Structure formats: structure tokens, C-alpha cells
Amino acid sequence: MKFSKPAGINPIDNQKVVTRPHVRLDGPLKVSGKATYAYEYRGEEQAAYGYVLSAGIAKGTIESMDLSRAEAAPGVLLVLTHENMPEQGKSETPVPQQQKASPQLSGPDVSFYHQAIAFVVAKSFEQARAAANMIEVKYTPAKGHYELDKQLKAAKPDEDSEDSVVGDFEQAFRAAPVKVDLTFSTPDQSQSPMEPQASLASWDGDQLTVYTSHQVVHWVQAGLAATLKIPKKNVRILSPFVGGGFGSKLLFFADIVLASVASRLLGQPVKTALTRPQYYNATSHRPATIQRVRLAADRNGQLLAVGHDTWSGNLPGGEGEPAADQTKLLYAGEHRLIRTRKTELDLPPGASMRAPGEAVGLLALEGAMDELAEALDLDPVKLRIINDVQHDPEKGPQRPFSSRRLVDTLYVGADRFGWDKRQKQPGQVREGEWLIGMGMASAFRANMVQPSGAKVILQPDGTLAVETQMTDIGTGSYTILGQVAAEMLGLPLEQVTVRLGDSDYPQAAGSGGSFGANSSASGVYAACTALRNSISQRLGFAVASTTFEDGAVKCGDQQVPLTEVAGNDGLSAEDTMTWGDLTEQYAQASFGAHFAEVAVNSVTGETRVRRMLSVVAIGRVMNPVTARSQCLGGITMGIGSALMERLEVDPRYGLFINHDLAEYQVPVHADIPDLDVVFLEDLDDKSSPIKAKGMGELGICGVGAAVANAMYNATGVRLRDFPLTLDKVLMGWADQEQRRGKKGAKEEVSTA
């Protein structure tokens, strides 16, 4: 099925199952410990244990490796290095950085700290770990580049992100009566899921089966097959449960490649999991950015010029962080200059982390909008409403938005949050030692779709099974796909079984980019439509006038139970949803508004977020329980990004030194206040037949800026270097005192 024109009325609009607050189908399995994750699988044959030895330098060459003690250690079955690793090919996935990440032990060169340099397999995990630590390695280190701010002169245009040049930005900016020219910086950040990368590999002749933790099954299937130089049909990937990913499991790393190679060489299953320090340094992370935002407006607040320049770094061949992309679409402005630059750094791979681009780009853009509002003496909400635009600002009215309720989210959010109680002058509200402030920011995330297929099977007992490669990374895929199938066949959700994460099932979108739910649900819709049509034809019913409800097929005064239709053998149908050019005809995005209230301690500078509200418009909300959970998770990550998350680069050795959950700070329960989420009705018939849009990443987009703007309202200190830690608040106050002191001294001299 091809989605090439706006969706009309269809069975999803019945909304008897879809849009209802069903709890997660996989919830009981997870809370009871019955959901099996990659490292927990047990095959018929006892698996051996692999342990990855990581490089102790960030850049250079391995001169020698003494394996004698490791190979003679108790229980050791195999030691792999670049000297005995079988020949590998290049990965074939849509993710450019995978080219760097997939060939393992491919030579003596070290490109980043904790790169895999050996793989020890033993009868037990402890034996493998002990033996790996017996390997003696001698290196010849080379000079590397690890700090973004010192490599800006070497930056080049990012080929993955086109510059936006509309009108004459420089002239318009110079001539504008009100303008801001600001620089923001964001640090390297880590996705930090609870489950690290892990794999169990097993061969049966030429057939490889791997249980692994991955977000997109067909990407890892194709990439692993190309790396091992075997046909894709010989590789089966299973990822039925994934313990979080946030982008880090769009790629695959040493665990799956080395376990697969070792399993073939040994003729037995091999399992391995990366350690937490290896996760931080040897998988992927969100690259640091430096961003310059220039906004110019007339005295009424209408934007005249919009400029956003970003810089980030990555390994050679890696992508830059597209932190300026949202600026191309979010606000009006006749003259525009938006550019993305990338430089080479010798840090671990940079790649996708929840809302790549927008999550950090909106920290800068929405911070700049707040400062522009202050320069204009204009309410920040009003400034955003003034600059709303219902079409692509670059391409004009010929490319309207498919749906855009940003202004509605701003009005509803301001009213519900009590924005009218905000004091415009910073530092005016105090509760004891605590200074209280309010801030807000817009939320934006581009809506994307991917081809996605499914198979549906009507069982003899009248129940329905859904099979698709789609993954569930804690997002609710099992539940919403079951809801779509139940709605389409007129069944209660309890009579639908959903099977996910198996490459033997039809290829699906996978989880990433906020395209997962909408795309995979559309794939299930296509398969169910094919099954409905097949059933109607079998019964001789007119397709247009046939309905499915209450476990039966109805046409006019005729009614046939699904159990009778299925017969003894059951019925099945399979289809894939593909996409026309509606994303080209219409700009598509999810929108929202975040409102934050923070308290900053006037003595210590400690910041506490007291409450937050997100109002979002995301098309049809397929399940308010899972959608709310996604939004709450995004808000939590946004708070962490604003106040604490930072990978600390040790420039002497080129590694992230805080490589565990003790030192890489993420929010805990005590950090997270009362959160509220409001969904606005927003059916987008140009997005998909489901009329939904992406949700998973919108929740984080703009949150950090709302927190930062609230901190300024509380303290009078503008911070543009994230995270906004208490030392920066204290330094800001100290600078204010120093400026006041100098001003007072000048006035004293003048008076004398």
C-alpha cells in the first residue's frame, strides 16, 4: 500500500480501541522478570562468554600484544586480535558512522579510546575477564584532537546538512532596530540506557542467529551480513525486548561482530555484553556543539533576520550534530542564514541521541528568543505567537504545514501554567533562601516516516496475531500495534497477540527518529486492510460497505463470525506501507510548548525544577498512557540536559573520564518534580492513514531552554554554557557584583 494522498475516513477513525488508555501489553512480563533481553537467552548448548579488551589510548598504533598468559589461563577457548581476525567487509546501513564502527579488530590502528583491540572467550565470564586483563599491549601513541573549541578553524560544511540562505541576512541584521547575537555551547552527552549493548550469537551450519539489543532490526541484519561477508538471508536477528536505546542502538558495535565471529570459529554459542565504561567510550554519544544565534526584529517583534551557525566534531566519516535544522522551520523571518559546520575529532563515535539536532539546537534558539523578547520588552509567549508561520519559511506558501498548532499549545500552556503570574523583572520572587522564576520554550520535532511492513494472521479461534520486525525499546510498540490491529478487525485488544523484533518477520521501520510508531502502525494498517479485503472477497461482500466489529464481519443484514471466516487453517495477509511525496508537498512536524518553574538557592546556587507543563500537538494520540510516558521521559531527559548531563573529556588521554552511572549524572526521582502533559486534538491526514505524528523525541525538545529561561527569571543570570551547574550561577552573581562595584566606584569618582 502506498500513502500518496491525504487520508480519508477509515476504520481507525472508529476509535473504539485506538486512542484508549490501555496499559502496556508487555508490562506484566517486564515487572515479573519474564521479558527476556539479549544477554539472558539460553540456547540448547551452553554459551561461552566473551570479554572485550579495550584500547588504553585514543589515537595511535598497537606495536605488540603478548597473549601468552591469556591463552594459557584457565577456561580460555579463544583470543581474537587484529592478527587472527577473519577478513571483514564494510557495513551497509543508512547510518554513516556505522562504517567506522562495524569492522572490528581490523588492524593495529587505534582511532578512539576503548576501541576493541582483543576479544577473549572462556567458559565463564570471570575467566574471560581475568584472561583479558593478562594481555600485555604496547602502543605508539599519536597526537589527537579532542576539544571542539580548539578545532573550529578546521571546520568544514557538513555534507549531510544543507545551508539555508534566503534573502540578504547580513544586510537585514545590520539594519534591524532590535537584535541579539549570542553564542551557546552544549557538551558531549551519553544516551545511558539501563541495558548496555549485548549479544548472543549461534551458528547452525551457514545460518547465524543473534539475540541482540538493537533499535532497527533490518539495519543490523544488513550491516552484520556485510561485515561478515555472508548473505543477508543467512542472518537472523532477534530483538524482542530492548532495555532502552535513545539512539545508541541504531548502530552496532564490538559485541555483535566479535560474538558472531567467535561463535563460528568455536562452533558453539558465544555471548558478550559491553561493560558500562565501554558503553560510554566505545559506542556512540551526542557530540558537543558551539552555536551562534543571531535574531533581528522590528520594534513590534516581527523577525526580520534569522541566523544560526553550528559547529560540532566527529571521527572522520561521521556525521555532525544538525543543531540548526529546527531553525529552518520554526519561525518566520524573510532573511535567513543557517549553516552547519563539522570538524574532525578523535573522540569515540558521535551519532544519534534522542532528538538529534533539535534537542540541543532548541537550547540555543529558544534561549535567544527569550533574550530577544527581553530586548523588545515583549512577553516571550507573545513573541513566539507573533512569529508563527503556517508554511515552510524557506519555501513559502507553496509548501504549507500539514498541521501546525504551535500557537494553540502556547495559549493553552500559558493559561494552564499560570503564566500571567510571572514577574517580568528577574529576581523578584523569593521563598526564604530560594529565588523563584518561570520560563518557557517552544517544542518542535520534524515528522518523518519510513517504509514499514507487517503480517497479520487470523487464527481459527478468531484471535489475531501481528508479526513485524518493529522493536519496542520501552516505548509501547507492542500495545499500540495491537490496538491498531484490534481496531481494524473489530476485536478487543485482549484477542490480539503482537510479535516483534525478529528479522524473519516483515521488514519494519524500527525505533528511531520518532518515525517508529506512526510508520509501523501504518504497516499494520496496510496488512490489516489486505486481510479485510481478502475476507470481504471470500464472503462475496462489497469491500466499501463491509464492517468489522464485535468479532464478526458485517455487510448489510449479513453477519459472519471471524471464527467461521478463519476456518480450520486460519487466514493471513501481509503488506508494506510505502510513502509518496506528501512530505515534500507539506512541511510536517510535531509542535508543543514547555513551561517551567524553578527555584534557585540564593546561597548555594543549586537549582531545583519545581514543576513543568508540556502542551503538545502530535496528530492522533494512539494511546494516551504510552504517549504520556514518552513525553514524561523526554521532559526528564531535558531537565538532565539542562542541569547536569555532561561527558567530561580528558584532553590528555582523549577519553570520557566520567564513564559510569556514578559520575555521569542523570536525573533521579529526587530531581524530577510534578510534571504535567496536555495533548491537543490534532489529526494530521497528510502524515499517515493513522493521522498521527512523532512523539518520542518531541518531549525533550525545548525543555532545557524553558529551564534555562526560568533560571534567568529567578536569578537575573544568563547562562549559555550547558549544563547550567551551580558554579556557573555563583560565577554569574559574582560577575554582577563586580560590575555593580565598578559602576559604584565610577559614580563615586564622578561625584567627587
Taking phi over 0 as left and psi of -120 to 50 as alpha, with beta for the rest, 502 belongs to beta
* pLDDT score at 98: 60
Strand 270-273 with 48-54, pairing: parallel
Residues near 162 by beta carbon (within 8 Å), at least 6 away in sequence: none
The residue-averaged pLDDT of 697-720 equals 98
The residue-averaged pLDDT of 680-700 equals 96
Q: Are 608 and 715 in contact (CB under 8 A)?
A: no
From the candidates 136, 431, 697, 748, which is the catalytic residue? 697
- The per-residue pLDDT for range 142-200, each reduced to its tens digit, is 999 999 999 999 999 998 888 999 999 999 999 999 999 999 999 999 999 999 999 99
Burial group, residue 748, by CB count within 10 angstroms (0-12, 13-18, 19+): exposed
Q: Are 147 and 655 in contact (CB under 8 A)?
A: no
* pLDDT score at 307: 98
> At residue 641, does pLDDT exceed 70?
yes
Right CATH for 2-8+449-579 from 3.30.365.10, 3.30.210.10, 3.10.129.10, 3.30.1050.10 = 3.30.365.10
Q: What is the CATH number of domain 289-447+588-732?
A: 3.30.365.10
Beta-ladder partners of 237:
210
Cα separation of 26 and 498, whole Å?
10
Cα separation of 261 and 501, whole Å?
22
Please tell me whether residue 69 adopts helix, strand or coil conformation: helix
Q: What is the DSSP letter of 703?
A: H
Concatenate the DSSP letters of all residues of 513-545 into one string. TT-HHHHHHHHHHHHHHHHHHHHHHHHT--GGG
Q: How many CB atoms lie within 10 A of CB 170?
A: 13
- The per-residue pLDDT for range 736-749, each reduced to its tens digit, is 999 888 777 666 55
Q: What is the CATH number of domain 45-143+194-244+249-282?
A: 3.30.365.10
- The per-residue pLDDT for range 667-677, each reduced to its tens digit, is 999 999 999 99
> At residue 343, does pLDDT exceed 70?
yes
* pLDDT score at 741: 84
CA distances from 510 to 241, 275, 545 (A): 12, 25, 34
Cα separation of 91 and 526, whole Å?
31
Cα distance from N-terminal residue to C-terminal residue, the chain? 85
Per-domain residue ranges of the chain: 2-8+449-579, 45-143+194-244+249-282, 289-447+588-732
Within 13 Å of residue 419, how many CA atoms lie on the same side as its CB?
22
Residues near 396 by beta carbon (within 8 Å), at least 6 away in sequence: none
Mean pLDDT of all residues belonging to the chain: 96
* pLDDT score at 311: 98
Cα separation of 222 and 235, whole Å?
8
Percent of the chain with pLDDT over 70: 97
> At residue 752, does pLDDT exceed 50?
no
Cα separation of 600 and 607, whole Å?
4
* pLDDT score at 292: 98
Cα separation of 706 and 713, whole Å?
11
User: Would you state the cell numbers that stand for residue 437, as one nine-digit string?
Assistant: 522564576
For CA atoms 558, 561, 562, 568, the dihedral sign is: negative
CA distances from 389 to 156, 331, 369, 378, 470 (A): 31, 6, 15, 19, 35
- The per-residue pLDDT for range 548-601, each reduced to its tens digit, is 999 999 999 999 999 999 999 999 999 999 999 999 999 999 999 999 999 999
Cα separation of 102 and 751, whole Å?
72
Would the CATH topology of 45-143+194-244+249-282 be identical to that of 289-447+588-732? Answer: yes
Closest CA to 644 of 245, 281, 291, 190: 190
Residue 723, preceding peptide bond in cis (omega within 30° of 0): yes
Whether 159 is a known active-site residue: answer no
Concatenate the DSSP letters of all residues of 445-510 into one string. EE-----EEEEEEE-TTS-EEEE-S---SSS-HHHHHHHHHHHHHT--GGGEEEE-SBTTSPP---
- Indicate the pTM of the whole model: 0.96
Residues near 211 by beta carbon (within 8 Å), at least 6 away in sequence: 38, 41, 199, 200, 238, 239
* pLDDT score at 160: 83
pLDDT tier for residue 96 given thresholds of 50, 70 and 90: low
- The per-residue pLDDT for range 2-52, each reduced to its tens digit, is 999 999 999 999 999 999 999 999 999 999 999 999 999 987 789 999 999
Q: Are 120 and 131 in contact (CB under 8 A)?
A: yes
* pLDDT score at 751: 47
703-715 and 624-643 helices cross at what angle (nearest 10)? 50
Concatenate the DSSP letters of all residues of 196-214 into one string. --EEEEEEETTEEEEEE--
Beta-ladder partners of 558:
555
